[in-house]
Amino acid sequence: AVMKKYVLRFTGSGAKPAADVARIRKCEGIAVVDEAPRMLLVQCASKTRVRQLVDDLDKWVMSEERTVQLPNPRPKVRSKRAA
């Protein structure tokens, strides 16, 4: 199965609850990849599994990780050829 990454964001006030983080970390099949003050990046093969976990937690929302291709910081000058 392909492991996809999901962003879990705490929408309540203050820092994310330690008890919620512990519950997410213990959830079988879900691996915490990265952590920020109000967010967790998790990896899991089942979107449904992550959705069920988030639905059970208060004030958490989930979205799929999106990546954006950055433009080349050193664009190449195109040479004009004489026709």
Quick one: tokens of 34? Answer: 């990265």
This model's pTM is above 0.75? yes
Could you read off the pLDDT of 12-61 as tens digits, one per residue? 999 999 999 999 999 999 999 999 999 999 999 999 999 999 999 999 99
14 vs 10, 17, 18, 37, 63, CA distance in Å?
A: 9, 9, 12, 9, 20
SS3 16: coil
67, 24 Cβ separation under 8 angstroms? no
For residue 63, pLDDT over 90 is answered with yes
The span from the CA of 37 to the CA of 81, in Å, is: 54
